[in-house]
């Protein structure tokens, strides 16, 4: 069953998986990073609110 799937599809699947995992890990710490580079908490809230208007 799995032998019929080409190697390139397996490689792209693994890459896609790790890309998704890394983006999910970075999402919760993004506000802390933005605050550390000097962006105000109010602006971070506005950015987060705007991003929630456009779901994936």
pTM of the model: 0.59
Query: What is the tens place of the pLDDT at every residue in 8-39?
Result: 999 999 999 999 999 889 888 988 999 999 99
Q: Does a structural domain hold residue 20?
A: no
pLDDT at 21: 95
Q: Does a structural domain hold residue 53?
A: yes
2 sits in which H/E element: none
Q: Does a structural domain hold residue 50?
A: yes
* Residue 1, pLDDT above cutoff 70: no
Query: What is the tens place of the pLDDT at every residue in 34-54?
Result: 999 999 999 999 988 998 888
pLDDT at 51: 84
Of residues 55 and 50, more confidently modeled: 50
Residue-range definition of the domain harbouring residue 47: 31-56
How many structural domains are present in the chain? 1
Question: d(Cα 48, Cα 29) in Å, to the nearest integer?
Answer: 12
Q: Does a structural domain hold residue 36?
A: yes
């Amino acid at each position: 069953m799995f032998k019929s799937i080409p190697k390139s599809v397996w490689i792209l699947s693994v890459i896609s998986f790790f890309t998704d995992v890394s983006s999910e890990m970075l999402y919760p710490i993004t506000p802390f990073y933005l605050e550390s580079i000097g962006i105000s908490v109010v602006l971070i809230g506005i950015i987060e609110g705007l991003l929630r208007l456009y779901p994936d």
